[in-house]
Amino acid sequence: MKYEKIGSELFKTNRKRLVKELPKGAIAVFNANDIMPTNADGNLPFRQNNDLFYLTGIQQEESCLVICPDFPDKSLREVLFLREPSEMLEKWEGHKLTKEEAKDISGVTTVRWNGDFNKVFHHMMVMGGVSSVFLNTNEHYRSSVVVETRDARFINWCKATYPLHRYERVAPIMAHLRSVKQKREIELMQDACNITEKGFRRVLGFVKPGVMEYEIEAEYLHEFVRNRSRGFAYDPIIASGANNCVLHYVENNKQCKAGDLILLDVAAEYANYSSDLTRTIPVSGKFTKRQKEVYNSVLRVMRAAYKLLSPYTNFFAYQKEVEKVMQEELLKLKLISKADIQKQTGEGPAFRKYFYHGTSHMIGLDVHDVGDMHSNMALGSVWTVEPGIYIQEEGFGIRLENNVVIQKKGVLDLMKNIPIEAEEIEDLMNR
């Protein structure tokens, strides 16, 4: 991989935290993601399963981690299974991890080849008092795409082979653990944010009337990859003109015209950790009076949202408070009236016409990270803050977004050095 060595301590700590959550007699299994095909003999770039990466740091396909904390043979309490290297694999696909390299990355001392899996796993399942089997699935609250994953196939095989064991879900445990970031994770996320900053500053010096949205995308990608990122943390949104108002516009194929705004929802990943930045900038390097008026309203909502965040904050209560602030800003902008508010219903509040998404989501290994949205925001969790105002009748929308760590008092803004004041953006674009 392109990123600097992370060190095994993070992964050792993560496994220890998991073990504390498992009951006596438990065994837990984590599989790599599949290599996904395109067409003919083509493949999509491999992306490791985030839970397996979180526990091992291993990026390689066809990998598997088995954790059995109470097994009598201590050497089998953590076992990492890998694809066995061969001369043919080296020639066609390049280097595969040796056992020693995998030990160094993960801190797992027992590493076996995949050919040993059935024999070793059978021994662990029928010996040493194993009673409950914790298996993994994608239980993210926003997941809508269903495919048969390596984990899904393993669940079917395991239940058919060992039908009398008790089966449990490990996903809720992993979501709880991953929602609280360790110090090393915050450092990696800060690296991702710093790379994102470099890309944004590069783009501020590049944008002018007539450039194509995809040219801006290329500028970002150049800066991200040259700073050891694999690239975008998610499909980049580079939306000029009326496309500002489309939340997930990803075509990025329009020309940027003088007088228009560009909404840039673009960010880098680093070492599998995501960042998520949104800025809205003027194509001509100067906001109009009305654009700046709306821009500053969004910025005030963002800063008000910061003040609401704490370990005692519930997301759904927080969202309602942000919406109250947004309502006041929309009144000032004369986008809604007091009469509109008086006529509104619970299902159709007046502000919803101009602000139609949530203000925050968790972020980490996943852009929309795992965790319990109904719990209070955990100390050490990382959240986006991203209010927006979208005025279709005026042909533009504005969204601003930073990533913050929940602290005992206030938040740590991982993007505090990225330009956000309208005047600073104008100054940087006109140098």
Domain with residue 23: its CATH number is: 3.40.350.10
The rounded percent of the chain whose pLDDT value lies above 70 is 100
Same domain for 411 and 298? Answer: yes
Which pLDDT belongs to residue 145?
66
**Residue 126 sits in the same domain as residue 255:** no
In a domain? residue 324 = yes
* Total domains in the fold of the chain: 2
pLDDT score for 143: 74
The token duo for 259 is: 């007088």
User: For 326-331, what is the mean pLDDT?
Assistant: 98
pLDDT exceeding 90 applies to what percent of the chain? Answer: 93
With a cut of 90, say whether residue 128 has pLDDT above it: no
pLDDT band at 185 (very low <50, low <70, confident <90, very high): very high
Nearest to residue 418, comparing CAs of 281, 255, 230, 287? 281
- Which whole number is the average pLDDT over 214-236? 98
Residue carrying structure tokens 């977004």: 401
CB atoms within 10 A of CB 312: 10
Question: What value, to the nearest 5°, has the Cα angle with vertex 241 and ends 235 and 246?
Answer: 45
Question: pLDDT band at residue 34, thresholds of 50, 70 and 90?
Answer: very high
- Do residues 143 and 251 both lie within one domain? no
Strands 78-82 and 269-270: unpaired
Q: What is the pLDDT of residues 100-115, one digit of tens each?
A: 999 999 999 999 999 9
Considering the domain architecture, whether residues 380 and 253 belong to the same structural domain is answered as yes
2 belongs to a structural domain: no
Same domain, 134 and 38: yes
Q: Which residues pair with 67 in a beta bridge?
A: 28, 78
- The pLDDT value recorded for residue 82 is 98
Q: What is the mean pLDDT of residues 391-400?
A: 98
Residue 354: phi and psi, rounded to 5, are -115, -15
Mean pLDDT within 261-278: 98
Domain final residue, candidates 136, 155, 179: 179
pLDDT score for 1: 86
For residue 376, the 8-state DSSP code is: B
Confidence (pLDDT) at 331: 98
Q: Do the Cβ atoms of 390 and 356 come closer than 8 Å?
A: yes
Burial of 425 from C-beta contacts in 10 A (0-12 / 13-18 / 19+): buried
Residues 96 and 238 in one domain: no
Model confidence pLDDT, tens digit, residues 193-223 = 999 999 999 999 999 999 999 999 999 999 9
Domain check: are 160 and 226 in the same one? no
pLDDT band with cut points at 50, 70 and 90 for residue 427: very high
pLDDT tens digits along 64-99 = 999 999 999 999 999 999 999 999 988 899 999 999
Q: What is the pTM of this model?
A: 0.96
Structural domain containing residue 165: 9-179
pLDDT higher than 70, residue 326: yes
Residue 226 maps to which CATH number?
Answer: 3.90.230.10
Q: Enumerate the β-bridge partners of residue 270.
A: 273
Q: What does the buried/exposed string (b/e) look like for 183-208 if buried means 16 or more CB atoms within 10 Å of the residue's CB?
A: ebbbebbbbbbbbbbbbbebbbeebe
Q: Is residue 214 part of a domain?
A: yes
Better-scored residue on pLDDT, 231 or 142: 231
How are beta strands 388-391 and 396-399 bridged, if at all? antiparallel
- Length, in residues, of the chain: 431
| 121 part of a folded domain | yes
Residue 4 lies in a domain: no
Residue 306 scores a pLDDT above 80: yes
Query: What pLDDT band is residue 382 in, cutting at 50, 70 and 90?
Result: very high
**Burial of 121 (C-beta count, 10 Å sphere; 0-12/13-18/19+):** buried
The pLDDT, as a whole number, for residue 147 is: 82
**Residue found by looking up tokens 């390689």 in the block:** 60
Per-chain mean pLDDT for the chain: 96
Establish if 151 belongs to a structural domain.
yes
Co-location of 291 and 364 in the same domain: yes
Q: Are residues 162 and 267 in the same domain?
A: no
